[in-house]
Amino acid sequence: MKDDEAAQSSLIRHPALPYVIPFGVFLAFLALDRYLPFSSETNYAVRFFVVFAVLALFSRKVITPQFSHFWGSLAWGVALFTIWVGPDVLWPAYRQSWLFNNSIVGAPKSSLPQGVKASLTFIIFRVLSSVVNVPVLEELFWRGWLMRWLISPDFLKVPLGSYTRQSFWLVAALFASEHGSYWDVGLIAGVVFNWWLMRTKSLADCILAHAVTNACLAAYILIRGQWQYWL
């Protein structure tokens, strides 16, 4: 009880924490991945449970499952999946261009150890991370916090979906940058998610659309063996 009260007190003093901490923890796992004393399969399980616990502890008060455009969010999620894989399906050599294969953005290939691709444990927790944790923590950070903070440091006074040219395009560009060789479709996704938040005024709708895109992509990867999408 005391730990929970202390956490809530800290959130009152630092309102950005529910939006920022899960993203920071997730990035820390990515940065420290090679140094963790676990197998690759166990690492993904630990990462999922730790990030999920952080979301539950710090962010549950700011995650409200109130959809204003449920079916539209589903449709946009599927549409963005189509956009994500479309260029590679239509033009197989497209991703080999120097724009998507260089020392800055990396290469369009998976960095996963070969052995984990046949591991049911890895697949389960990789999918759960992609569909459950990542859409929530990314939408909290990019559109729940940063897009508003760029308008005003007192971001809680900025309504969700507020627009300025700087906040819209900077968040879209930064969102694209975290997707490596897929920065082009990442940019499109960032623009769509930003616009969808402006349209719906609902972070839950953006989370749902994001989760649907990731779920479709996970299914495509596993069915077609296109592991390069899991960088």
The pLDDT of residue 10 = 55
The pLDDT of residue 112 = 82
Q: Which residues of the chain have pLDDT under 50?
A: 2-3
The pLDDT of residue 231 = 82
Task: Calculate Rg over the CA atoms of the chain.
Answer: 18
List C-alpha distances in Å: 101 to 94, 138, 181, 200: 10, 25, 6, 36
CA 90 to chain centre: 25
Nearest residue to 26 via CA among 137, 125, 111, 145? 137
The pLDDT of residue 157 = 96
> Which pTM value belongs to this model?
0.92
The pLDDT of residue 9 = 53
User: In sequence order, which residues have a C-beta less than 8 Å from that of residue 42 and are 6 or more positions away?
Assistant: 121
Nearest residue to 213 via CA among 118, 77, 86? 77
